[in-house]
């Protein structure tokens, strides 16, 4: 390190002149070239015991108007920025019996993970996709979507979107549809009928959209897959962890966001690792804990956890009887596509000894 130059009135004056011309010296900014990622977002948990009463009260306090009744989870480290992690937003949305959330479209990509209730729908480009707990439903970038609840029970889901990323790319577009709902032009769950057959893909469909053309990943299929794989060793970091796939390409479901589901078997504790890219977890079932950069978050069904990029994390199912299942969204497809996915593993026992280091694009 070279010594700081001695302060001098002439030098101060020079800096003032430079700043007033909207210029800064690299010597003033060097601390921002950090040796590793240093996210402003913090690891944070919204326990279901805190989310549930507020989302339920929102049903009495706020109508579904022009906008959705969706509680946006603001990361406390981001100073009021509309973001749950640097690139992702998670929200919890309530739609009461008889309500419609009017049709709109936007360039940010969205996913829904159904938490509670059954039989409401999201209509995506004229196709009603019906919701059951644990289902994953996609609304790709720029697809028209409205939500309707024709049942007699409320429905609650988690939304996950890449809003902060799209905003920082200055690529935000938003439109309302001319009517409250887009006319239905396809049978209910048509995308599942067409694309929802594992390893069997319709040959007559020629378009291969960037986002998955399969809009519904049913909990029934997900649960069956997890059960079938129960005896496998799984990932040392994530247990029986499955990535939802684009059925035609095998890649992530969206160009900017990947979705995963992971089962931790009774008593299972994973090994710590860290990687570039942030994630938001939603606990589908069970009880356990996630330790992020040394901070312990004890979770149960419904809780939502924000995990910043490069944070060391490990998960545990603290029950000796029940499975734990975590659903998560992440922004790693962006990192991967730019050659910026980097991962480090740690040895067992919290000793935090780095054991491997890989740059996906620099083998
Ligand atoms: C949105 O359009 C929905 O369509 C939900 O239900 C949550 C959060 C941020 C921006 C747009 C929806 C959203 C959102």
pLDDT tens for the chain, residues 1 to 363: 455 777 899 999 999 999 999 999 999 999 999 999 999 999 999 999 999 999 999 999 999 988 999 999 999 999 999 999 999 999 999 999 999 999 999 999 999 999 999 999 999 999 999 999 999 999 999 999 999 999 999 999 999 999 999 999 999 999 999 999 999 999 999 999 999 998 889 999 999 999 999 999 999 999 999 999 999 999 999 999 999 999 999 999 999 999 999 999 999 999 999 999 999 999 999 999 999 999 999 999 999 999 999 999 999 999 999 999 999 999 999 999 999 999 999 876 555 666 666 665 443
Backbone phi, then psi, for 274, in 5-degree steps?
A: -145, 155
Q: How far apart are CA 145 and CA 201, in angstroms?
A: 25
Task: Assess whether the C-beta atom of 145 lies below 6 angstroms from ligand 1.
Answer: yes
Q: Which residues of 201-228 are buried (b: 16+ CB within 10 A; e: fewer)?
A: eeeeeeeeeebbbbbbbbbeebbeebee
Beta carbon of 91 within 6 Å of any ligand 1 atom? yes
Closest residue by CA, ligand 1 atom 3: 68
The fold of the 44-357 domain, in CATH, is Jelly Rolls (2.60.120)
Task: Report the separation in Å between the CA atom of 221 and the middle of ligand 1, taken as the mean of its atom positions.
Answer: 26
The finding on whether 161 has its CB within 6 A of some atom of ligand 1 is yes
Residue where the block lists tokens 């603290």: 318
- Interatomic CA distance for residues 1 and 5, integer angstroms: 12
- Give 124-165 pLDDT, tens digit per residue: 999 999 999 999 999 999 999 999 999 999 999 999 999 999
Distance (angstroms) between ligand 1 centre and the Cα of 344 equals: 34
Please tell me the distance between residue 357's alpha carbon and the centre of ligand 1 in angstroms: 37
Sort residue 221 into left (φ over 0), alpha (ψ -120 to 50) or beta: alpha
List the domain boundaries for the chain: 44-357
Q: Is 159 in the pocket of ligand 1 (CB under 6 A)?
A: yes
- Our answer on whether the CB atom of 88 is closer than 6 Å to any ligand 1 atom is no
Sheet holding 174-176, edge to edge: 127-130, 121-124, 145-148, 100-106, 174-176
Taking the centre of ligand 1 as the mean of its atom positions, its distance from the CA of residue 261, in whole angstroms, is 22
pTM score of the predicted model: 0.94
Is the CB of 70 inside a 6 Å radius of any atom of ligand 1? yes
CA 71 to ligand 1 centroid distance, Å: 10
| Mean pLDDT estimate for the chain | 95
Give the Å distance between the CA of 121 and the centre of ligand 1.
15
Mutate to test the pocket of ligand 1, among 161, 182, 280 (most ligand atoms within 8 A of CB): 161
pLDDT value, residue 361:
47
């Amino acid at each position: 390190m070279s010594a700081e130059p001695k302060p001098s009135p002439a030098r101060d004056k020079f800096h003032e002149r430079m700043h007033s011309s909207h210029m800064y010296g690299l010597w003033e900014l060097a601390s921002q070239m950090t040796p590793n990622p240093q996210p402003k977002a913090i690891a944070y948990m919204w326990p279901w015991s805190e989310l549930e009463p507020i989302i339920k009260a929102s049903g009495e306090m706020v109508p579904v108007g022009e906008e959705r009744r969706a509680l946006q989870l603001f990361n406390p480290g981001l100073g009021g920025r509309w973001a749950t992690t640097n690139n992702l937003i998670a929200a919890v949305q309530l739609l009461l019996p008889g309500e419609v959330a009017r049709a709109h479209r936007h360039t940010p990509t969205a996913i829904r993970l159904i938490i509670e209730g059954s039989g409401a729908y999201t209509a995506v480009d004229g196709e009603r996709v019906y919701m059951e707990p644990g289902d994953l439903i996609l609304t790709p970038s720029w697809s028209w979507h409205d939500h309707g609840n024709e049942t007699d029970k409320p429905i609650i889901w988690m939304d996950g979107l890449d809003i902060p990323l799209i905003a920082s790319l200055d690529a935000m577009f938003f439109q309302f549809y001319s009517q409250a709902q887009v006319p239905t032009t396809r049978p209910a769950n048509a995308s599942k009928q067409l694309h929802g057959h594992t390893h069997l893909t319709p040959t007559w469909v020629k378009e291969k959209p960037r986002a998955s053309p399969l809009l519904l990943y049913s909990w029934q299929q997900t649960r069956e897959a997890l059960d079938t794989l129960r005896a496998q060793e799984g990932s040392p970091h994530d247990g029986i962890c499955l990535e939802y796939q684009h059925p035609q390409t095998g890649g992530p479901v969206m160009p900017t966001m990947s979705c995963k589901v992971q089962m931790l078997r009774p008593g299972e504790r994973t090994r710590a690792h860290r990687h570039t890219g942030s994630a938001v977890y939603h606990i589908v079932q069970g009880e356990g804990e996630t330790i992020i950069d040394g901070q312990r978050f004890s979770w149960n069904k419904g809780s939502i956890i924000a995990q910043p990029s490069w944070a060391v994390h490990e998960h545990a199912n603290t029950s000796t009887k029940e499975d734990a299942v975590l659903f998560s969204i992440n922004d790693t497809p962006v990192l991967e596509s730019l050659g910026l996915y980097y991962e480090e593993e740690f040895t067992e026992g919290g000793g935090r000894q780095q054991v491997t280091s890989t740059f996906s694009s620099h083998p």
